[in-house]
């Protein structure tokens, strides 16, 4: 089985469906992207859980970038930048690497330590 992202006209993922593998021909059909596109009336392209194709597994709301041939998750904060090699968003400052919990504060563009009340 394979997974396919159903895209709207803006290349935003609206649905992810399970279908046939690309190397599996059934009843003369071997181009499954074209077949599922015809059935849904929207563009369908392959996605994979392990990121082997199109860098990230497609999720609803992800955007397909034709230039990068990749699925890009929604941008979490205005200040974050896209790393094109992975098509993941990165904060402008690195999260501290310790055993503490942090959350991103967009107003100060910094990581703030979470304080839990016991």
pLDDT of residue 23: 82
- 30, 65: one domain: yes
- 70, 80: one domain: no
**Per-residue tokens: 34:** 């074209």
Number of domains in the chain: 2
- 87, 117: one domain: yes
CA distance 58 to 3: 9
CA distance 106 to 13: 26
pLDDT of residue 51: 81
Supply the DSSP string of 47-77, one letter for each residue.
E-TTSTTTSS---TT-EEETTTTEEEPPPSS
pLDDT of residue 22: 82
Supply the range of the domain harboring residue 31. Answer: 1-74
pLDDT of residue 9: 97
pLDDT of residue 25: 85
- 15, 51: one domain: yes
- 80, 113: one domain: yes
- 68, 81: one domain: no
pLDDT of residue 36: 95
pLDDT of residue 117: 65
**Residues of the chain predicted below pLDDT 50:** none
- 83, 66: one domain: no
pLDDT of residue 118: 61
């Amino acid at each position: 089985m394979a997974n396919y992202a159903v895209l709207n006209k803006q290349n935003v993922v609206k649905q992810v469906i399970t279908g046939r593998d690309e190397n599996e021909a059934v009843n003369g059909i071997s181009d499954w992207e074209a077949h599922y596109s015809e059935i849904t009336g929207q563009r369908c392209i392959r996605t994979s859980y392990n990121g082997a194709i199109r860098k990230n597994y497609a999720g609803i709301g992800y955007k397909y970038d034709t230039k990068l041939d990749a699925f890009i998750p929604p941008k979490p904060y205005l200040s974050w930048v896209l790393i094109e090699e992975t098509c993941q968003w990165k904060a402008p400052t690195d999260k501290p690497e310790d055993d503490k919990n942090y959350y991103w504060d967009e107003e100060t563009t910094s990581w703030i330590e979470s304080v839990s009340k016991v």
